[in-house]
């Protein structure tokens, strides 16, 4: 008396061949915050201020809300809303990076232009 081989959930038999299915799991760090953490640390390093710094600006949140509302109302399709939101994020990050580079260049030229103290 033979027992039928047990199949694992991630394996499926198709036409006498074995098909292995792989899934990707994104690693997203989720901060664990307790009420004690909110008051025991300085304000600048408190988890709440860290979490709020990760949120988009109120202007971007409004844009994403409008896009979501228009999608739900059927005014635009969800792929269009995703494309507009992603393009907005990419453009914003690119502009911020260019602005940072401009500030760094300005600081370097100011430092180079300052007279160095004479050493004797």
Please check whether residue 100 lies inside any domain of the structure.
yes
Q: How many CB atoms lie within 10 A of CB 79?
A: 9
Amino acid 91: pLDDT: 92
What is the domain extent for residue 101?
Answer: 56-112
pLDDT tens-digit profile of 50-76?
A: 666 667 788 888 999 999 999 999 999
Please check whether residue 71 lies inside any domain of the structure.
yes
Domain total in the chain: 1
Token pair belonging to 28: 């997203």
pTM value?
0.46
CA distances from 4 to 1, 7, 8, 15, 107 (A): 10, 9, 13, 17, 73
């Amino acid at each position: 008396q033979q027992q039928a081989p047990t199949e694992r959930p991630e394996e499926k038999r198709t036409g006498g061949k074995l098909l292995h299915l792989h899934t990707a799991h994104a690693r997203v760090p989720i901060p664990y915050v307790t009420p004690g953490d909110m008051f025991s640390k300085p304000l600048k390093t408190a988890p709440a201020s860290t979490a709020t710094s990760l949120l988009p600006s109120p202007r971007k949140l409004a844009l994403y809300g409008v896009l979501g509302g228009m999608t739900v109302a059927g005014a635009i399709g969800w792929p269009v809303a995703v494309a507009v939101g992603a393009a907005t994020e990419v453009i914003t990050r690119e502009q911020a990076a260019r602005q940072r580079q401009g500030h760094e260049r300005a600081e370097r030229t100011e430092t180079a232009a300052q007279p160095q103290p004479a050493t004797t």
